[in-house]
Structure 1
Amino acid sequence: MSTPHAILIALLEKPSSGYDLARRFDRAIGYFWHATHQQIYRELGRMVEAGWVSVVEDETAAATRKKVYCVLPVGRNEVARWARETAVGPDSRNVFLLKLRADAVIGPLGLAEELVKLIDDGRARLATYRAIEQRDFGAASLTRGQQLQYAILKAGIRTQEMWLAWAEEVTPLLDEAAAR
């Protein structure tokens, strides 16, 4: 996935100011695609130049001269093209797994504390996902779009649950190494 496409998708869901978009990335989208506020603003400028989005001043916020970004048809077409043509591959960039491989070859590298932090972060993320699930997907009937968004959230929940179970299995191996 590329940051411009993640931004376009977010804007297709809801036209937003750069600030509001950055907050949405912090609160929701960022759980599976991270972008800094600076990256978001930079990409918005590029997308305006490319003709993918337009900028309109929010009349309800005239005092702040808030700019709202809206996806143009060519931007929608770009998202469709990207979704059809971009191949999905395995994420081989997990740094901690690479560190574990180094630990396996070199010997104990003191990774137990880092794993504990990752477990704590994973538990916090899972709790956040569960809160979103209860808040946003408790209705008896969901639209197709809501069902797809819920499917994405469930993938995150299951990924966190699986990762936490795996991490609990690895913890004794790192604790044993630390005891030596």
Structure 2
Amino acid sequence: MSLKHGLLGLLTIRKSSGYDLSKLFQESLSFFWVANQSQIYRELDKMEEIGWVVSSKVEQDARPNKRVYGITKEGNQELIRWLKEGNAEDLSVVRNPLLMKLFFSGKVEKDHAVALLKNYRAICVQARAEISEQVAGIGDVEETAAKPAYWLYATEYSIRQYDFQIKWIDETIARLESLK
């Protein structure tokens, strides 16, 4: 996946400013894709250059003016092309800094590895709670071509992934603590 495709998908729901897209991204996609607001603005600029989105300036009285982005026919075609793409190898790329650190943790005291795992566990618990809150709000999303049921499938995957990680961390900590 690329950030561009995530943004195109969000723009199929409604036209949005960069700020609103960033907020919507955090509320819907952040549990499996991380992007900050400056990245989102950079991608919007690139997508406008290649014709996948168009923007218009909206003047506001009480606030600064904003740019509102909408998906073009070409942008929608690109999103559909990407969704139909069958390259499963790209989907299985794994980069996990936690596992990289754990793999080499025999070079440091056991307490460092345990602390790393405990800190990551806290992050997992928090992220899982946030996803559960997001799931409760998915039903509030207007019915569009985005099909909220698919959002539920993606969030369910993420919840199960965090459940697995929490369980694995607990088991790994117990095994590490039992080592002499």
How is 1:27-46 mapped onto 2 (pairs within 5 angstroms)?
Answer: 27-46=27-46
Residues 89-128 of structure 1 show CA distances to partners (whole Å, capped at 9, x for unaligned) of 3232111112222135x46452111111111111111111
The aligned length equals 172
Q: Using CA pairs below 8 Å that are at least 6 residues apart, which structure has the higher relative contact order?
A: 2
Does structure 1 retain, via aligned residues, the 8 Å contact 2:27–2:134? no
SS in structure 2 at match of 1:157: helix
Find the counterpart in structure 1 of residue 99 from structure 2.
97
Runs of 5+ consecutive residues of structure 1 not aligned to the other structure: none
Residue 7 in 1 paired to residue 23 in 2?
no
C-alpha separation between the residues in 1 aligned to 2:137 and 2:71? 28
Identity %: 27
Does structure 2 retain, via aligned residues, the 8 Å contact 1:137–1:150? no
SS in structure 2 at match of 1:125: helix
Shift of 1:154: 0.8
SS in structure 2 at match of 1:91: coil
TM-score normalised per structure 2 = 0.84
Runs of 5+ consecutive residues of structure 2 not aligned to the other structure: none
Question: Which moves more between the two structures, 32-41 or 62-71?
Answer: 62-71
Find the counterpart in structure 2 of residue 127 from structure 1.
129
The amino acid that maps onto 2:150 is L
Shift of 1:144: 8.0
Does structure 2 retain, via aligned residues, the 8 Å contact 1:122–1:164? yes
